[in-house]
A = this chain, B = another copy of it.
Amino acid sequence: MARKRLTREESRDQTNQRLLEAAAHVIAKKGFAAASVEDIAAHAGYTRGAFYSNFKSKSDLFIALLSQDHQCVQQDLQKILDAPLSMADMQQQISQYYVQVYRDEKNFILWAEARVLALRDAKFRARLNAYCLEKRDDIASIIEQFYKLLGTEPPAPPKDLAFGTMALIDGMRFFNETIPKELPDEAAMRTLAVMFNATFFK
């Protein structure tokens, strides 16, 4: 099993990526504030030296992490959104969205953490708001497209309805994550479907 000798750039990228992965893990587990730079570096198999040589600060790293995840998710979602829309799959699209926005529990926790951070930290808030608005606009454009197809007027500005959609999805996901016994997957999905059907097909 000959290990390839890495060039500087490859090696640096590898370290960078490992630090990001470690950060995702440690932050999801302990929370952003409680996750020390040392923790993260050690979990990636490095020391603090490596950390500071790759990132300016812990915030910096977290933003890089979120940014990477956001790009990744947006790409996946784009596929859903790009598919030509028929009224029948609206509902299916929504549940697909629900499933895909946060790929797994870890990512969900990461973004929940980030949102809370954003309440306090203006720099974070600016970043997250940008991502949030990207998503909102994507969804708003689906909604517009949908009502054009339907030939009727939307019951509220599409952008606001998009916020509503995101709010509902995020909120239900939260309950589903913290009280799965009371709100299992199927119940969450069914309720989402009922509420979205009602508001969009009314």
Contact = CB atoms under 8 A, between A and B. Distances in A.
A177 B119 contact: yes
Contacts of A188: 160, 163
A46 interface: no
Interface of A: 29-34, 109, 112-113, 115-120, 125, 128-129, 132-133, 136, 155-157, 159-161, 163-164, 166-172, 174-175, 177-179, 182-183, 187-188, 190-192, 194-195, 198-199, 202
Chain A contact residues: over half helix, strand or loop, or mixed?
helix
A161 B179 CA distance: 15
A194 B155 CA distance: 7
28 contacts: A32-B33, A33-B33, A109-B119, A109-B120, A115-B178, A118-B178, A119-B178, A125-B178, A128-B178, A129-B179, A132-B175, A155-B194, A156-B190, A156-B191, A160-B187, A160-B191, A161-B195, A163-B172, A163-B183, A164-B191, A164-B194, A167-B172, A167-B175, A168-B195, A195-B198, A195-B199, A198-B198, A199-B199
